[in-house]
Amino acid sequence: MANSLEGRVALITGSGGGMGRSHAVLMAERGADIIVHDIKEDGANETAEMVRSFGRTASELIADSRDIPTFTAKIAEAEAAHGKIDILINNAGVSGNKLPVEGVDEAAFDLMFDVQVKGAFFATQAVLPGMKARKFGRIIMISSIYAMGGSFFASHYSGAKAALSGFTKAWAREFAAWKITVNAVAPGYIGTEMVLAVPEKILNEVIIPAIPAGRLGKVEEIARCVTFLASDDAGFITGSTLTANGGQYMA
């Protein structure tokens, strides 16, 4: 089967809902066992049940990714329980809340970078020894169109996502000798709860007309990008960013 993940174990941060849940469900459908990370236990439990409905093994990893000692200790426990972690999806993130520079206080700045940048760095550090020992790994960052083109009123969000792009390139070079690939997926406007909460007038008169495809993306379309990069079919792709945005941004 194309893009099969049979026999793989994937850790997906922030997968108790939203796009992270979509990644988990599709990867389970393709044969992977899933470690469902989230700060919210209810959401993680729901995703895990969806994974199990495909006959796959799921475990819940409940932790605040800003609490690095606890977060990484629980990753180690999950890896021991599953026997390995083949795939890491650094998906956990927070919204930029459309704040202008003057509106970003230190707490908002720290939250953005602690969750998206620091969390991704130390999750990767935690799984790396096992991947190196097995000489196999897939690390995938969930970036954003804003990492490449910037955004009005979300500079701290754009900066954090751009940092993930920097990690992607640096780690792709550093880890290649161990057959570990590192790539990013940078979605455009996707029909998530956050985007659909935008006033209908702005959505229909400003956002969608700026997308050449003429529509919002679907979470399932982003999950397919992630699943492809996690598969053996993408074994010669590393250091790349796959941007699914309907033509809104063309590098």
Helix (H) or strand (E) holding 194: helix 193-196
**From CA 198, how far away is CA 121, in angstroms rounded?**
31
- Annotated catalytic residue 157: yes
**From CA 34, how far away is CA 87, in angstroms rounded?**
9
Residue 9 phi/psi, 5-degree rounding, is: -120, 125
Instruction: Work out the burial of residue 219: count CB atoms within 10 Å of its CB; fewer than 13 is exposed, 13-18 middle, 19 or more buried.
Output: buried
Other CB atoms within a 10 A radius of the CB of residue 59 amount to: 18
DSSP single-letter state for residue 16: S
Task: Write down the catalytic residue from 146, 157, 189, 249.
Answer: 157
* Active-site amino acid positions: 157
